Structure 1
């Protein structure tokens, strides 16, 4: 079957998954095993996130593969509830939330929902188009990440996983970069308001974590660290080496970076971070758009590269963790990645062969978990990387 035919098969199966979310394997109950790792999950959350146009069905594939490997039974279920307006207003403006609610109501009634000439559309256009049930989707995503933060505060678990959150581009009163709500900021603010004093945020997405960085740009309590592609014209256009400060570190990268280079650089960045910031909680966004095969086609990372970084984080910090999802638009590879990262976080070995389950045929032709890097050239040469590290190591920048 040709590439276009293959994509149409995937899309049709994903649409069927969304339609049957309450009937398929996602309706199975979790084990009562009270592990130190918590997993944020509900059918309603998966259904809402799977309706987002750019990642349609991705959440269902991720959860399905985690279940196929039996990893769900090794985690404690963290059942989320929709965030309230009050909870979301801890970061987002009342005007922005009211606009989302109004747009949602107008779409439901088939009314005109575009902003009048000169009116602020709060970013609900272009890459963040108004979509049906938007307010419910926003509140579900926000509630899922607050559930992760609440589990850490209550000490229900030491590590919380929410692969269905991680929307790092949204600002206080603006949607941006496919992100309608900044659930990461909401989770950090909850930790700060409940006894945590110094929080480290690590962003491994292909794109600069601008929304989170901007939210805490003037705070000494949060350090943000982002490794990302940076070049003229590439979204969001921020995160250059000159954008660094005492409490934010940006590592702008060029195309083609591979596992070996990325992991080596990451180790050195973490050493710099540890010398400057004594965190009592670590939050990591694990966007999958850095993987080889992503439609952005920029980095040359495999599951092993990102997995090694997550292992390094866990071994470097004796603190509670929250792991988030994020970008990633080859949805099959993202489901592979977040399943693999779940196994690493749990300390459980899983086989390369994907188990038989309802989505098994989507993973053809290899039916394997791991992917291979491409032969593309790594533009991050030693001279460029040494220059980056020298700048990052300079305490006077």
Structure 2
């Protein structure tokens, strides 16, 4: 899903979530030829309607967003925007409705069988609540997309959130809905916004064990992050038997991101993206997979490469991390942003990532293993799984 108007989602100069990251991603994917194949379609975006937004958001909130969109000075912070984190800006409603519409289009195309996989890098706005914006997110495109999948007949939706920050908005919206399994791997709320997402947060009374939170310590790194994925996600996916997989690929878990501290490489994120595709392919989802963007605030060095890897995996042409970035793309980065762009699509110079198999045993003295086990103990028994076995 692509629209040049994506870059209108702009909180202004100096804000971490600058729209340049979307433009640079699209240019990089184009430069590598990922979009130039007969079996790949770049589809235009139709903005979400008010009726679609209201499947998740409160009428008063949507009306307030529209008012502030027309006159940003009217924003008081009452509904979460007009703050330092989420400033109001002219055209805010239209820009965010466009991102939501793109996710809706992606979900509809995948569910209808027109495509197996769809990507919306402008999506992944996982902090927005029904009645409030939060954490740079105005409307929650993910929740609106999942609601649409349910309307179309999806009985079980697996939502997987790989952002460094807890996917609190999506979790809150589906807290009491056992048709949606939300799984969030994130830096612990003891160290990072929004301060939520602990292992004991497992869903409402109508949906026990439908919320899964892996709260990882700062400095987790590639090995620990991938170990956490493999120790939690595949087992729950098999038990849940999803009809479709929706994933959020916030890349602020990177070691150079200015807002988080998980210390993961682009190579690690690319590996996890391949695993998400495999989950969709090998599970009851039958390959149905919608991949979305999210956080990520190292705008030149990280976001374009991380999301280009998502596009490569989704289109069936995963990019080797040793691949050079196109010279034309690097020249554009230097000319426009006066920065040297990365020369390769990865960070590790071919060094393998060793994350270990969980069935070989966990190490309780290790903070990462301790975090993983806390999640397994919290939710595995409810799914008939043994926390101590693979």
Match of 2:226 in 1: 263
Of residues 188, 194, 217, the one that matches 2:152 is: 194
Q: Is the 8 A contact 1:96 1:122 kept in 2?
A: no
Deviation of the 1:143 alpha carbon:
1.0
Match of 1:353 in 2: 324
Which deviates more, 348-357 or 364-373?
Answer: 364-373
Unaligned runs of 5+ in 2: 204-208, 350-364
Q: Is the 8 A contact 2:69 2:90 kept in 1?
A: yes
CA RMSD between the two structures = 2.3
1:360-382 superposed Cα distances (whole Å, 9 cap, x missing partner): 34462652221249xxxx97344
Alpha-carbon distance in structure 2 between the residues aligned to 1:66 and 1:339: 5
SS in 2 for 1:41: coil
Q: Is the 8 A contact 1:149 1:190 kept in 2?
A: yes
Of residues 189, 192, 209, the one that matches 1:234 is: 192
Q: TM-score, normalised by structure 2?
A: 0.83
SS in 1 for 2:186: strand
Q: Is the 8 A contact 1:50 1:58 kept in 2?
A: no
1:172-183 to 2 correspondence within 5 Å? 172-183=130-141
Alpha-carbon distance in structure 2 between the residues aligned to 1:357 and 1:50: 25
Q: Is the 8 A contact 2:71 2:90 kept in 1?
A: no
Match of 1:18 in 2: none
Q: TM-score, normalised by structure 1?
A: 0.81
Q: Is the 8 A contact 2:330 2:340 kept in 1?
A: no
Inter-CA distance 371–379: structure 2 relative to 1 (3 Å threshold): farther
Of residues 332, 344, 348, the one that matches 2:313 is: 344
Inter-CA distance 160–114: structure 2 relative to 1 (3 Å threshold): closer
Inter-CA distance 141–391: structure 2 relative to 1 (3 Å threshold): same
Q: Is the 8 A contact 2:199 2:375 kept in 1?
A: yes
SS in 2 for 1:73: coil
Unaligned runs of 5+ in 1: 1-39
Of residues 294, 317, 331, the one that matches 2:299 is: 331
Q: Is the 8 A contact 1:200 1:281 kept in 2?
A: yes
Q: Is the 8 A contact 2:215 2:371 kept in 1?
A: no
1:62-99 superposed Cα distances (whole Å, 9 cap, x missing partner): 10111110111132122111111111111111111111
Alpha-carbon distance in structure 2 between the residues aligned to 1:394 and 1:220: 16
